[in-house]
Amino acid sequence: MGIGFFSFVLLILVILLVLVSCIRIVPQAQAVVVERLGAYLDTWSVGVHFKMPFIDRVAKRVILKEQVVDFAPQPVITKDNVTMKIDTVVFFQITDPKLYAYGVENPIMAIENLTATTLRNIIGDLELDQTLTSRETINTKMRAALDVATDPWGIKVNRVELKNIIPPSAIQDAMEKQMKAERERRESILRAEGEKKSTILVAEGKKQSAILDAEADKQAAILHAEAEKEKRIREAEGQAEAILKIQQANADGIRMIKEAGADQAVLTLKSLEAFAKAADGKATKIIIPSEIQSMAGLAKSIAEIASNDGSH
């Protein structure tokens, strides 16, 4: 009885172990390809799954996250017969675990070989200069070609990047010399442009300075002329005012003499004196009114008659 009980317990433990081994938990971003009796059965996604013991088996575990593969440099020949080495980086993602499991024996090796052949085809249509300056175009063409080729394998190629383009050492030396000569040429052009701009700026400065000096001289001349004009106007106004005051004073004196009862001869003489004072020795010509001239002539005639009577 003891041996039979032990055998029964052992059988139960074996059955439990078998049942536990048939339980599979698929984590996030993974998938499991299951076969039954060697034939594809199902693709398990995230969660807990149970397989039939002894007849079901896990054929392949697949990572669904985006993966990166860095391939070694591949020798390629350009259209102008220059041999160079280019290494590429491929970003891909498994979209169909079943096709990935059964599409190709070694998917990574297949992608590497496909990348090398596609790269050679694309670079073979380009010259060296185009190869060095057309990275984006090459990346786009390679991604499109690889994506189409890997689609039957359940793989989607998201990006392809040319990591390094390594030309021969002789080409590198020639390129360095060319770049050095180009930099020196650009430096010479920039220096000449700087000197040209400096000369232009100096000439413009002198021109502006001359214009400002001329404007300043013109303004000074205008101000001087205005000052001289104002001075002469004030001098003329002063002289006119002085003459007016003298005339007014003489007129007042004559009026006072007239009011005192002086005769016409005295008035005439006072008027002549007033004119003489108005001239003040500065005028070369004095205009005497006709009335005063006639009175003076009359006075002269009377004086002559008086002298003739005395002689008789």
Rounded to the nearest 5°, which phi and psi values hold at 192? -65, -40
- Give Cα 84 distance to the centre of its chain: 40
Q: Residue 84's CB: how many other CB atoms inside 10 A?
A: 21
**pTM of this prediction?**
0.53
Question: How many C-beta neighbours within 10 Å does residue 119 have?
Answer: 23
**CA-angle at 73, arms to 69 and 78, nearest 5°:** 125
Radius of gyration of the chain (CA): 63
**Full pLDDT tens readout for the chain, 312 residues:** 557 777 777 878 887 887 777 888 889 989 999 999 989 999 999 989 888 888 888 899 999 999 999 998 889 988 888 888 998 999 999 999 999 999 888 999 999 999 999 999 999 888 888 888 888 999 999 999 999 999 999 999 999 999 888 887 877 777 778 788 888 888 889 888 888 888 898 888 888 888 888 888 888 888 888 888 888 888 888 887 877 877 777 777 667 766 665 555 555 655 556 555 555 555 445 555 555 455 545 445 544 544 554 455
53, amino acid identity = P
Which class for 270: exposed (0-12), middle (13-18), buried (19 or more C-beta within 10 A)?
A: middle
With respect to CATH, is domain 67-167 assigned 3.30.479.30?
A: yes
For residues 279 and 287, the answer to whether their CB atoms sit within 8 Å is: no
Listed by start position, the domains of the chain span 7-63, 67-167
